[in-house]
Amino acid sequence: MAGIEKYLRQSALPHIWCPGCGNGILLAAILRAIDKLGLDQKKTVVVSGIGCSSRASGYMNFNTVHTAHGRALTFATGIKLAKPELNVIVLTGDGDSTAIGGNHFIHAARRNVDLTTVIFNNNIYGMTGGQYSPLTPMDAKATTAPFGHIERSFDIAALAIAAGATYVARGTAFHAQLLTDLVVKGIENKGFSVIDAITQCPISYGRKNKMGSAADMLAWQRDKAVMVQAVSKMKPEDLEGKFVIGELYRSVAPEYTAEYDKLIARVSKKGGK
Amino acid sequence: MITYISLTGTGGQGIILAGIILAEAAILEGKQAIQTQSYGPEARGGASKAEVIISDEAIDYPKIVTADILLAMSQEACTKYAGVLKKGGKMIVDATNVYDIPAIDADILSADITKAAREQLKKDMFANIVALGVLVGSTGIVSRKAVVEAVLARVPKGTEEVNTKALEIGFSLGEKK
Amino acid sequence: MAKAQLMQGNQACAVGALAAGVTFFAGYPITPSTEVAEILAEMLPKFGGKFIQMEDEIASMGAVCGAALTGAKAITATSGPGFSLKQELIGYASMAEIPCVIVNVQRLGPSTGKPTSPAQGDVMQARWGSHGDRGVIALSPTSVRETFDITVKAFNFAEKFRTPVVLLLDEVVGHMRETVVLPESGDVEVIDRKRPSGPPEEYQAFKPEADGVAPMADFGEGYYYHVTGLVHDYKGMPSQNNALTTELIDRLHTKIERARDEITIYHQDYTDDADVLVIAYGGTTRAAIAAVKEARAKGVKAGLLTLVTIWPFPGEVVAKVAAKAKKVIVPELNYGQLVGEIERYVPREKVVSLTRYDGELFRPEEILNLIITAGGGK
């Protein structure tokens, strides 16, 4: 915890997350990234949506906004555009960002707004008690999929890349140090960065799907994750049932708020208002 | 003194712009003016109507119940809106497009407005300005000077000459009986 | 001396917003409000302001809230269907006390209805459109010049009371062009939100001062605080405390209620001796005043009370002005919305509702006929 206490609102703790929940690990990884970069606390804003993940903003000692369900990126876009000097970090969940907030997600990516979005991906709606989300795998069980889920799930990284994000990575709660590094790179990227952060929900997802304890679920993350650097050396059949972690995509594209500032410089009258 | 003018035609003919310019010409003369419009979902085609009220005093009701002057630039508009003209009111029709004038009690001026624009200015799109010239030339609702000034304030740079010419063509068409 | 010019209502709204110091617009295209967006898209960057067309109506309201938190004066413009979509975050702005202005150029509904036709069907939506209880300010101007003035007022109220303010235009006023002379910029009163001046570590973003409103810090100035749509304490932290919940919901109302006199804007024409009183708002006023003058010319003592402030509903003003009238006529371009509110302050047997919902403005004679009947004439 050394170094990151100053970023926590001690008075807001303890947090509301269940024992074994991975969200605390993710929060610490993000705070370490902020610390590592030495971001100016005053100039850093954290925006979240609704859900278990989105409670994280309340524990963080910055200007923080806990918005409405799915809307974090809309607020964040307004904040960043109105005051581009701010570092804006968005914390959201898989349902928050890709179901109710799916439209905002693809458009924030398309605009390449300089926001770093960490998606706490636990494959389920945890706060409401375990309903299926767009990240619930096929055949998995949820309270609203008692007979097994029959929908396909999103690949958040592929979605973000297709929509125009310029930095896309995947990490897990188990690989917490890697996650910090991925968030650091995401914040450093001048554009829309997405970090798909896989986390465990032992209560609402694990139990239903017989995944064991929180420790078992962390072990599952360890066993199923393949570092991106290793993929090229692997046969396709070895990747079956696994997921790739690390930096998955990076590109350079015009960043929205910088483009807007250029537009202002081009059209503004001398002396302004 | 308050005058109600309905300018009607087809979407895309520049009817609403003509209405705005007429209202602005009235303001240049120190009068009060209101311009409203009604339009359908089409950006082009469909009946289009601009209403202009010119008055020496503040205007309460912004819409036209009965028009003193009606300009009809299309057959559809002419048929649809002829009824709003007051008895004995002034009706100006674009003879290029209107072939069937309803039998109403009106002082009717029929002029080949679009044809004049097409033949003398090489473009149909100036028909609205020609029509404005006809309207001003035949009714004197605003001065010619004011309408020229209002047109020049609105039209794109480089088109001043052709628009002035359009007005002049309209003025002379308007003088004919 | 400023010049007389022909100006559209939506244009006056955009120009009024600029006069009030707007620096941010987010919106989504919708008839008949689009001109507000188009004008601000052109004007804002010229003054260093920001314009963004978002992916949908909800997103534009979210961006407005976000921008306002950084200290920007922010506005969005929409019409009925978009106003419905925005309700989620209008409620959020009320709860989180984010100043902003929402322009709703009303058109005929429900649903897509008649996009290019006037209506006043969103009066109750402005009051009750978002879930839960909250104080609401909604203003409805009657002319192009008044649209300018009331847009400035909307920003001033939003800033002063830390609340979203709804500007209820209608297609009549929004699309009408009329002669206006705008005030010089020095003659426009502009109010900015209170900002904290004390040490940041002592700052409590939701601890009200005597006027019921807390100073609001711009994001990025070192005044850390939390903003949430959840019931929250003075620091903005979520709370389940019942007493605190009651206090918060009370304050969302009372901070507006206590300033009722300041917020209430209305006009009276010929009301002093009126036997028949017409109460109207927005574009309908224009038919009503013509009818009242006509009635006077015919010897009927008619008067007009124009409500520019719709919410908080100026019930006391209505009761007082209507007290001497024998009949009260309420014309509205809807199925009868504000009339119900008026009936809470005027005996029901005196009130006559006149409705129209075909997409056209009343003709003065429709109101005139009712005035004459009510006035005992023929």
- The domain that holds B72 is classified in CATH as 3.40.920.10
CB contact under 8 A, B62 and C364: no
Q: How many domains does one find in chain C?
A: 2
C-alpha C232/C-alpha C294 separation (Å) is 55
CB contact under 8 A, C74 and A77: no
Q: Is residue A252 part of a domain?
A: yes
The strand pair at B85-94 and A124-125 is best described as unpaired
- The residue in chain B having the minimum alpha-carbon distance to the alpha carbon of residue C144 is B34
CB contact under 8 A, A81 and C74: no
Residues of B in contact with C178 (CB under 8 A): 32-35, 59, 62
Q: Is the pLDDT of residue C1 over 60?
A: no
Q: What is the structure's pLDDT at C377?
A: 62
> At A147, is the pLDDT very low, low, confident or very high (cuts 50, 70, 90)?
very high
C245 lies in the same domain as C358:
no
> At A54, is the pLDDT very low, low, confident or very high (cuts 50, 70, 90)?
very high
Q: Is the pLDDT of residue A213 over 80?
A: yes
A87, A91, A55: which is closest to A73 by C-alpha? Answer: A91
CA distance B30 to chain C (A): 8
C20 lies in the same domain as C98:
yes
Q: How many CB pairs under 8 A join A and C?
A: 149
C227 lies in the same domain as C289:
no
What is the percentage of chain C residues whose pLDDT exceeds 90? 97
Which chains reach chain C with 3 or more Cβ–Cβ distances below 8 angstroms?
A, B
Per-chain mean pLDDT for chain B: 94
Q: What is the mean pLDDT of residues C90-118?
A: 96
Q: What is the structure's pLDDT at C331?
A: 98
CB contact under 8 A, C364 and B33: no
Last residue of one domain, picked from the residues C238, C263, C288:
C263
- The residue in chain A having the minimum alpha-carbon distance to the alpha carbon of residue C59 is A74
> At A271, is the pLDDT very low, low, confident or very high (cuts 50, 70, 90)?
very low
C288 lies in the same domain as C255:
no
CB contact under 8 A, C225 and A260: no
Q: Is residue A40 part of a domain?
A: yes
Identity at A17, one-letter amino acid code: W
> At B46, is the pLDDT very low, low, confident or very high (cuts 50, 70, 90)?
confident
Query: pTM for the complete prediction?
Result: 0.96
Q: Are chains B and A in touch, 3+ Cβ pairs below 8 Å?
A: no
B119, B99, B116, B113: which is closest to B18 by C-alpha? Answer: B113
The CATH number of residue C362's host domain is 3.40.50.920
CB contact under 8 A, B37 and C172: no
* Residue A82 touches chain C, beta carbons under 8 Å: yes
> At C168, is the pLDDT very low, low, confident or very high (cuts 50, 70, 90)?
very high
Last residue of one domain, picked from the residues C220, C247, C263:
C263
Q: What is the mean pLDDT of residues B146-156?
A: 96
Residues of C in contact with A78 (CB under 8 A): 24, 26, 52, 62-70, 74
Q: What is the structure's pLDDT at B40?
A: 66
Residues 141-170, chain A, touching C (beta carbon < 8 A): none
Q: How many domains does one find in chain B?
A: 1
User: Taking a C-beta distance cutoff of 8 angstroms, is the pair C166, C102 a contact?
Assistant: yes
CB contact under 8 A, C179 and B34: yes
- The residue in chain C having the minimum alpha-carbon distance to the alpha carbon of residue B65 is C363
The CATH number of residue A142's host domain is 3.40.50.970
> At C215, is the pLDDT very low, low, confident or very high (cuts 50, 70, 90)?
very high
Q: Is the pLDDT of residue C13 over 70?
A: yes
Q: Is the pLDDT of residue A112 over 90?
A: yes
Residues 114-143, chain B, touching C (beta carbon < 8 A): none
What is the percentage of chain A residues whose pLDDT exceeds 90? 97
The structure tokens listed for C297 are 């010319």
The structure tokens listed for B35 are 């311009």
CB contact under 8 A, C364 and B61: yes
The strand pair at C164-170 and C100-108 is best described as parallel
- The residue in chain A having the minimum alpha-carbon distance to the alpha carbon of residue C73 is A82
C101 lies in the same domain as C1:
yes
CA distance C272 to chain B (A): 20
C191 lies in the same domain as C64:
yes
Last residue of one domain, picked from the residues C246, C263, C280:
C263
Pick among B59, B61, B154 to test the C interface (most C CBs inside 10 A): B61
Q: What is the mean pLDDT of residues C15-30?
A: 98
pLDDT digits (tens, 9 = 90+) for B127-149: 999 999 999 999 999 999 999 99
Name every residue whose Cβ is closer than 8 Å to that of residue A56 and which is 6 or more positions away in sequence: A23, A26, A27, A30, A46, A48, A91, A120
C103 lies in the same domain as C220:
yes
Domain extent, residue B58, equals 2-175
> At A134, is the pLDDT very low, low, confident or very high (cuts 50, 70, 90)?
very high
Q: What is the DSSP letter of C360?
A: S
Domain extent, residue C139, equals 1-263
The CATH number of residue C96's host domain is 3.40.50.970
Q: Is residue A187 part of a domain?
A: yes
Residues of C in contact with B41 (CB under 8 A): 115-116
C174 lies in the same domain as C96:
yes
pLDDT digits (tens, 9 = 90+) for C248-307: 999 999 999 999 999 999 999 999 999 999 999 999 999 999 999 999 999 999 999 999
At B168, give phi and psi (nearest 5°).
-65, -40
Residues of C in contact with A104 (CB under 8 A): 55, 59, 62
Residues of B in contact with C290 (CB under 8 A): 60-61
CB contact under 8 A, C69 and A81: no
CB contact under 8 A, C71 and A67: no
Q: Is residue A77 part of a domain?
A: yes
Residues of A in contact with C230 (CB under 8 A): 66
Q: What is the structure's pLDDT at A193?
A: 98
The strand pair at C226-228 and C302-307 is best described as unpaired
Name every residue whose Cβ is closer than 8 Å to that of residue A189 and which is 6 or more positions away in sequence: A114, A116, A166, A167, A250
Q: Is the pLDDT of residue B78 over 90?
A: yes
C309 lies in the same domain as C229:
no
C255 lies in the same domain as C279:
no
CB contact under 8 A, B27 and C4: yes
B115, B5, B105: which is closest to B52 by C-alpha? Answer: B5
Domain extent, residue A128, equals 5-267
> At B11, is the pLDDT very low, low, confident or very high (cuts 50, 70, 90)?
confident
Q: Is residue A273 part of a domain?
A: no
C350 lies in the same domain as C300:
yes
* Residue C119 touches chain B, beta carbons under 8 Å: no
* Residue B99 touches chain C, beta carbons under 8 Å: no
Which chains reach chain B with 3 or more Cβ–Cβ distances below 8 angstroms?
C
Q: How many domains does one find in chain A?
A: 1
